[in-house]
Structure 1
Amino acid sequence: MNTPRYGYGTNGLTDLRLDDALVLLADLGYDGVGLTLDHMHLDPLAPDLPTRTRALARRLDRLGLGVTVETGARYVLDPRRKHGPSLLDADPDARAARVRLLIRAVEVAADLGAHAVHCFSGITPEATTPDTAWKRLAEALAPVLAAARAHGIPLAVEPEPGHLLATLSDFHHLRSLLGDPEHLGLTLDIGHCQCLEPEPPAACVRAAAPWLRHVQIEDMRRGVHEHLPFGEGEIDFPPVLRALADTGYQGLTVVELPRHSHAGPELAERSLRFLRAAQAAGGAT
């Protein structure tokens, strides 16, 4: 049985400079960080990315922090369209821009020694049939998976409420379309399980275990896609953490509170205290 390793997402610490955020997490006792590539932290589109990435790798090593690279920045590619362009856009050039970003994220992850690269499908555009959307997604991910294989970095696709790929069942559909490639893995957001999966979150963890490469965690209520601080939703966390430990998951379990950056330092401290208490209550030690 593995002891869970906790991280905190930089998308919940956007009011801090990146180095200040990393020092905070190390001082609090976190094991790692979910690093969202974005303009306020490690900007994937600014000049001299390899040099900046190598410097960050050294800093993470000195602080003893592991890392997963996350690609959910809201406006990193298009300052007017949230999460745009996506892998499902009708315009092939727009899809290609997202593909290039994901390949760049794989390269950054390799330079950082990251556990995985996270991504998601995007929302199906209007007047697009499901068959067309799935075809676009599979075709767009093919070169990203090739880069992941070349660099030895798992690509961890996240089921996201409201997206084409929204559930664990959808993940398996994508896996089938792509021929079950070795480097295609899963990001499981525990709150999303509570929001819309038919099974409870702990059961989702056990079902997802063979493909699980990255975990995001926060509280949430059934049917409402709102990331909540721990204790403000409906999730029973001790069984979730026990399931992660029992199934042998070895990556980071990253707190995902992207709309709470204004209280990031306080919530980072409270979240780790909550998770450790829930871990002890569930026997996941």
Structure 2
Amino acid sequence: MQFGFSTNAFREYQLEDAIEAIADAGYDGVELLLDEPHLYPPTATDADHERVADALERHGIAVSNGNAFMLTAIEDFHHPSYIEPDADYRRKRIDYTLAALETAADLGLPYISIEPGGPIPEAKSREWAIDTFVDSLQEVVPKAREVGVDLLVEPEPDLLIETGDEFLALLERVDADCVKCNFDAGHFYCVGADPVDLIDPLWEHTEHYHLEDIPADRTHEHTQLGDGAMDIDAFLGALADRGYEGFVTVELYPYEETPVETAREAMAYLEERGWA
């Protein structure tokens, strides 16, 4: 398998500098944050795309994923979501995703990761939220098909889709081959699952994996590899046994004060354990 590191830990850095630092740390790939301050699709120009492509080529590194989950350019990580009660506000997330698909296609990316609906609004039912998320996805699926970029829904604690079963139930409603899973091992661990147990049932739907460690109390806190309680060796071993050759991206966005050191320490952990 190949390892990437996400630039969402490098929000205090220019994107080109983040790409260089991640390549220098020994990673095969870099996850591009499709948000400010890096590459925000609604305002990114062709020149911006060329600048990123040049940096990737110059440093000999691939793109592991296009991260279209966070949306701090408008509000925060989770808002606007696909299930906002205000239709105009919800439209901002939909339009952003359409732009992200265009950017990904321009850069030759096969997929982008997106949020799993969002937080269920107060006074709204889960049924309403699922219906609204499905409707929102149906608005972006045609563009995904047109440009050949898959939409990887990323289950996350405290959002609409948290578990493997909920993701599979969503697929039954959406019924679109371009909607797949961004499998975040730590997120599944936070909601009480063993990520190893979910590899097989989600295998055919998963194109990319996120990895971080998580504290023993399963708090949703992205933690440096080896500093939490997850059995990372078991997880990576299960992927290896399955013959996985794609990307596992280390996502440690809380470490934005020390991203270079954090990326290098995570790679040192992977190398010491024989994975990289």
TM-score range, shorter chain: over 0.9
Local SS of the residue matching 2:30: strand
d(CA) in 2 for partners of 1:82, 1:110:
23
**Equivalent in 3, 7, 22 of residue 6 of structure 1:** 3
**1:167 — aligned with what?**
163
Are 1:218 and 2:212 counterparts?
Answer: yes
TM-score (norm 2): 0.93
Are 1:41 and 2:54 counterparts?
Answer: no
**1:186 — aligned with what?**
181
Q: What does residue range 98-109 of structure 1 map to in structure 2 within 5 Å?
A: 98-109=93-104
d(CA) in 2 for partners of 1:29, 1:228:
20
Q: Which amino acid aligns with 1:93?
A: D
Change (3 A) 1:115 1:252: farther
Q: Which amino acid aligns with 1:133?
A: A
1:30 CA displacement: 0.6
**Equivalent in 227, 233, 237 of residue 238 of structure 1:** 233
Are 1:151 and 2:147 counterparts?
Answer: yes
Are 1:206 and 2:188 counterparts?
Answer: no
Count of residue correspondences: 273
**1:129 — aligned with what?**
125
Structure 1 unpaired stretches of 5+: none
d(CA) in 2 for partners of 1:82, 1:116:
19
d(CA) in 1 for partners of 2:102, 2:23:
24
**Equivalent in 85, 106, 110 of residue 111 of structure 1:** 106
Local SS of the residue matching 1:273: helix
Are 1:247 and 2:246 counterparts?
Answer: no
Local SS of the residue matching 1:105: helix
Q: Does the 8 A contact of 2:183 with 2:210 survive in 1?
A: yes
Q: Which amino acid aligns with 1:62?
A: R
Local SS of the residue matching 2:85: coil
What do the CA deviations read for 1:211-256 (whole angstroms, capped 9, x no partner)? 1112111100343111111122111111211222232434321111
Alignment RMSD (CA, Å): 1.7
Local SS of the residue matching 1:227: coil
Change (3 A) 1:17 1:267: same
Local SS of the residue matching 2:254: coil
Q: Does the 8 A contact of 2:11 with 2:256 survive in 1?
A: yes
d(CA) in 2 for partners of 1:115, 1:254:
15
d(CA) in 2 for partners of 1:210, 1:95:
30
Local SS of the residue matching 2:222: strand
**2:19 — aligned with what?**
22
TM-score (norm 1): 0.90
How many percent of aligned residue pairs carry the same amino acid? 32
1:113 CA displacement: 1.6
Q: Which amino acid aligns with 2:187?
A: H
1:6 CA displacement: 0.7
Q: Which amino acid aligns with 2:89?
A: A
**Equivalent in 68, 71, 96 of residue 71 of structure 1:** 68
Are 1:90 and 2:85 counterparts?
Answer: yes
Q: Which amino acid aligns with 2:212?
A: E
